[in-house]
């Protein structure tokens, strides 16, 4: 008679072997499709991206459609329609997009167009250029059939007018327990809820990566100021062999360090997504510790296996993940402080 314990051990072994062989024969040892994006509001954006990914759609279409959600959301005062204006009361939008073939498109300081990400895609697909700025970007958008709209909502206008009373430019970031009041951002002094770009990275069923990044930038910035978000390599970078990265926070520090490109290159050297994000954050801190103490910068990254991670200077950075396992996962990113 077969000893019961031996039998159990043997079946457990078989089971383990079986799982292993099943896993290695499955095409999705790689966690795909998958989409990740910055901040809690990424959940809603990911949900729209997922609708495309789950139907075997292209990652590029998924990221474009995904970031449409915060771009159109009037209550979101840091992306697209309803974004907080610059110090002259103008809503100027920055966005970029990058596909699996290294194609890129960006718009900088674009006014009056609700979905700058789609204009960025048109720049990528319909022009020999990679970036269009200001009036030229608007002219191009109108030629492409985009509608001219007023993007300054009454609540953003009110916040700007309140800010004008002191007109102090003090970018305060999403620091946990200090300023973050999602329920009523307009209640913050001078409306300092002036952050929260959406950066999104997706991998489709074919294993191709694309990314999008879109923002109204730092609230009450100088007219014409450009942050990291529309700058390929700074606010976003995709390398279809390695992975992708995106950033949020004070763009000047990200641009100085070519942050997203750095994160991808670190992953190329074997860093995990989280470690790569951490090292990029540490560069910022090491170079300018006095500045870094008082600002927020966060990086989010994904590699070709569908592994992801993030790291920020300050607490309070979160990101959203949507894959076959879970569709509305929000993860608190680790941070230096
Ligand atoms: C910028 N990086 O314009 C953007 C703003 C941002 O979270 O991400 N805030 O510098």
- Ordered domains of the chain (ranges, CATH): 30-151+194-335 (3.60.20.30)
Question: For the segment 309-331, what is each residue's pLDDT rounded down to a tens digit?
Answer: 999 999 989 999 999 999 999 99
Q: Could you tell me the distance, in angstroms and rounded to a whole number, from the CA of residue 227 to the centre of ligand 1?
A: 6
Give 128's contacts (C-beta < 8 A, 6+ positions apart).
none
Protein residue with its CA nearest to atom 8 in ligand 1: 248
Q: Could you tell me the distance, in angstroms and rounded to a whole number, from the CA of residue 254 to the centre of ligand 1?
A: 9
For the CA of 252, the closest atom of ligand 1 is 10
The angle formed by the CA atoms of residues 57, 59 and 60, to the nearest 5 degrees, is: 110
To test ligand 1's pocket by mutation, which of 228, 230, 232, 333 has the most ligand atoms within 8 angstroms of CB?
228
Protein residue with its CA nearest to atom 10 in ligand 1: 251
The per-residue pLDDT for 118 is 98
CA pair distance 332, 312, nearest whole angstrom: 10
The per-residue pLDDT for 186 is 38
CA 228 and chain centroid, separation? 11
Protein residue with its CA nearest to atom 3 in ligand 1: 217
The per-residue pLDDT for 177 is 40
Q: Could you tell me the distance, in angstroms and rounded to a whole number, from the CA of residue 22 to the centre of ligand 1?
A: 44
For the CA of 218, the closest atom of ligand 1 is 3
The per-residue pLDDT for 184 is 41
Protein residue with its CA nearest to atom 6 in ligand 1: 249
For the CA of 78, the closest atom of ligand 1 is 9
The per-residue pLDDT for 173 is 57
Question: Can you list the residues of the chain whose pLDDT is less than 70?
Answer: 1-28, 171-195
**Predicted TM-score of the model (pTM):** 0.87
The per-residue pLDDT for 172 is 59
Pocket of ligand 1 (CB under 6 A): 195-197, 215, 217-218, 227-229, 248-251
For the CA of 226, the closest atom of ligand 1 is 3
The angle formed by the CA atoms of residues 328, 254 and 213, to the nearest 5 degrees, is: 40
Q: Could you tell me the distance, in angstroms and rounded to a whole number, from the CA of residue 318 to the centre of ligand 1?
A: 14
Protein residue with its CA nearest to atom 5 in ligand 1: 217
Q: Could you tell me the distance, in angstroms and rounded to a whole number, from the CA of residue 5 to the centre of ligand 1?
A: 60
Which residues are part of the catalytic machinery? 197
């Amino acid at each position: 008679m077969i000893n019961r314990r031996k039998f159990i051990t043997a079946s457990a072994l078989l089971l383990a072997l079986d799982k292993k062989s099943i896993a290695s024969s499955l095409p999705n040892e790689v966690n795909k499709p998958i989409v990740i994006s910055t901040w809690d509001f990424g959940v809603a954006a990911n949900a729209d991206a997922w609708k495309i990914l789950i139907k075997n759609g292209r990652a590029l279409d998924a990221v474009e459609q995904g970031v449409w959600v915060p771009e159109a959301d009037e209550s979101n005062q840091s992306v697209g329609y309803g974004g907080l204006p610059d110090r002259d009361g103008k809503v100027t939008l920055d966005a970029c997009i990058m596909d699996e073939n290294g194609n890129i498109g960006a718009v900088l300081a674009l006014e009056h167009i609700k979905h700058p990400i789609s204009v960025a895609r048109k720049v990528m697909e319909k022009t020999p250029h990679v970036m269009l700025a200001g009036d030229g970007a608007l002219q191009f958008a109108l030629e492409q059939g985009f509608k001219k709209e007023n993007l300054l909502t009454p609540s953003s206008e009110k916040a700007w007018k309140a800010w004008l009373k002191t007109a102090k430019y003090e970018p305060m970031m999403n620091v946990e327990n200090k300023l973050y009041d999602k329920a009523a951002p307009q209640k913050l002094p001078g409306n300092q809820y002036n952050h929260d770009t959406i950066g999104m990275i997706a991998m489709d069923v074919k294993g191709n990566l694309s990314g999008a990044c879109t923002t109204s930038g730092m609230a009450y910035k100088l007219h014409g100021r450009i942050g990291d978000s529309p700058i390929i390599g700074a606010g976003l970078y995709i390398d279809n062999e390695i992975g992708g990265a995106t950033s949020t926070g004070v763009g000047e520090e990200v641009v100085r360090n070519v942050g997203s490109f750095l994160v991808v290159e670190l992953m190329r050297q074997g860093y995990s997504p989280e470690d790569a994000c951490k090292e990029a954050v540490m560069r910022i801190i090491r170079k300018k510790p006095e500045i870094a103490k008082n600002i927020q910068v966060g990086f989010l990254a994904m590699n070709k296996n569908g592994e992801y991670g993030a790291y920020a200077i300050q607490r309070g950075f979160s990101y959203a993940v949507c894959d076959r396992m879970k569709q509305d996962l929000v993860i608190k990113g680790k941070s230096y402080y």
